[in-house]
Structure 1
């Protein structure tokens, strides 16, 4: 049990025609369908984030070859393209939502592409997808002061609980950024486990608040995907994935600056 290494796949957008802000970290619908078929062919068993953490916490049984399928942010293509594929295979998955990006009453206008609405999030939850937190406005949490950090976490948790009627227990750090202070705040906010990036396989020894994931990109082909889930293609892609994550943050900050400038002129 202690030596088990679990691939946690990190997806963002699943879209046929993503915009420039999400293109690098999006996956084409056809590619996602092929990847999920490969997960089945390889004999992997998708489970939820809470299930993995609970198994490791208690020492209870897990499937022989577990894998986690996770989505960050809350893009509309998760409902349109990913959900039918997951349902076809009977696969579990986890969606980490930035509540201020989901279309509806709490929308802050920060989403980088077409986002889910709360009705779609509810449908995903009703289909067995675990819904976790991903902050409220998707900031770099380690750059926030204590009060703002706490607000980002509690606001996210409360909105998910209000919309779904279920308190989320899993969290994913925006951009994968965390620190000891951020991890402590996530725990104090009531989340039982949290995912980073790291581009490595998850291990029990990482602790429940720093479980690593591997990035699936638009250019991830079938052979590379197979190497990823087997832990054989991670090291060579780490530097590239880190650059992509930083570029993603820069794009978002640029959009925020432009939006504030437009508002100031109105």
Structure 2
């Protein structure tokens, strides 16, 4: 996907570290990530466009919006991800003009005023970095709860490994954070009121220019400026003071962290107070700013220096909550959801069954397609520029690949594994160089499930032979998926009977073709929670239904919706069904 990260800042902030950290990981996963901001200090992958969001006059605001519209159109941006109030306002207007999906990460407490209540400018989804931010957005600004998810900071745990305690002759205290705004006020008061600068070696890492009022501390405090190697700085400290990402990074390195931020002082973080610390982003967000009793901090900091390093259990909990891979997985989900629902478009997954060459082969259930019409379908797909995807492609490249703005994808699926798939479909796949997924029943030789239906019996139609299945699988054009042994209504069976039907079918197919199966199709589309749980448990990354499941396929990988193709689906009918918005219109 094409993603634009938007920030407004004049110095390095936690938002920039977050945006570039997750942005680089997204880039490694195949997305194209660009940045627009006043400044961007952290090394990053992807293009950077300079825009002075902090110049907020009315003419400037118009210029911000116009430039963002230009970037969105030129670079075919699919999702704008804003990270600050100033950038989110302009991004919101630009996205309204262009119809672009937008997400805003809210990294701190928001100012409350009438205009902000009426005009949140958060876009299609807000990601609050902690529970306190989410609560404030709901209670103070009136943002609908369903529009807000928790989106933790992502930490690359490989960069922050546990390290032994240093052997300093004098306790080293590292303060990491800005020297401007509320954090600057906090740092000043720590130096002025709380820290024994004669007995502690205090060093401050900040991207801020040192304000003049800090000059009085320069003889006793090391002002390091912007530090590129933060892990090395943390490793040499007996105690780290900070909030937000700083706290998480220190815990991962098993260095004691005294969490204090713009709202409150958590103190030394341990397993007992971790949940509360996380909910406030380690002291950064609370009901009001600087709600801190500074008279107690000197004693609390002295006590913290005497405590042991964070436990392995504490490190493990932080890894679970802030692991970069998990955070980026969530972001990919959010991006896909806002994009698909905003555009009301999804990659079409169409469903055939069997194919005929003359009218004598017609059935009574309407699950056939004349091969001549099938070729007309393929000609249309080729003419419209469609490329075919199969589930192994998605497993390797990620589900978001289906939304690649430079491609036009469709997925062809065929149920049951009839012999005519080999005789009629296979030659056309070769001719048009299309790929398809065939869901094969392995415990029957013909369509017994339809033939022995008492109310409306179908004519007998043979299934493919093992040799035919193997030949198609070896062609590189056909991916086989599971479809049970006998094609039952799974939701009528107990769990263990379902397990046998699904597991044995999978084992037989994998042994036959010598390849793993990537998806399973519920016969008749009938399933229950046991069916979905078993598909996952037995190793299927994906499972498809028929006309049930979310409209966006990534939102439930075990109930992927498909579009049925019927005998009367002519070329125009196919075009209507593959435009991308068919399931959205159908659900109205």
Q: Match for 2:461 among 90, 95, 113?
A: 113
Give the CA deviation at 1:15. 1.2
Tell me, yes or no, if structure 1 residue 51 matches structure 2 residue 393: yes
CA distance in 2, matches of 1:64, 1:85: 22
CA distance in 2, matches of 1:20, 1:209: 30
Tell me, yes or no, if structure 1 residue 86 matches structure 2 residue 435: no
Per-residue CA deviations over 1:158-177 (Å, capped at 9, x if unaligned) read 10012111121211110111
CA distance in 2, matches of 1:165, 1:202: 33
Match of 2:352 in 1: 11
Distance change in 2, residues 1:115/1:207 (3 Å): same
Match of 1:192 in 2: 541
Residues 48-197 of structure 1: matches in 2 within 5 Å? 48-57=390-399, 62=404, 64-101=407-444, 103=445, 112-128=460-476, 129-197=478-546
Give the CA deviation at 1:108. 9.3
What is the root-mean-square deviation in Å for CA atoms of aligned residues? Answer: 2.6
CA distance in 1, matches of 2:566, 2:541: 28
CA distance in 2, matches of 1:229, 1:132: 22
Match of 2:377 in 1: 35
Give TM-score, length-normalised by structure 1.
0.79
**Which structure has the greater CA radius of gyration?**
2
Paired residues in the alignment total 233
Give the CA deviation at 1:202. 5.8
Structure 1, unmatched stretches of 5+, are 239-266
Distance change in 2, residues 1:189/1:199 (3 Å): closer
Give the CA deviation at 1:126. 1.4
Q: Is the 8 A contact 1:200 1:231 kept in 2?
A: no
Give TM-score, length-normalised by structure 2.
0.37
Judge which range, 28-37 or 50-59, deviates more: 50-59
Per-residue CA deviations over 1:107-132 (Å, capped at 9, x if unaligned) read 89657412111111111111120011
Q: Secondary structure at the residue paired with 1:209?
A: coil
Structure 2, unmatched stretches of 5+, are 2-335, 341-345, 451-459
Judge which range, 108-117 or 152-161, deviates more: 108-117
Q: Secondary structure at the residue paired with 2:350?
A: strand
Give the CA deviation at 1:21. 4.5
Give the CA deviation at 1:58. 7.2
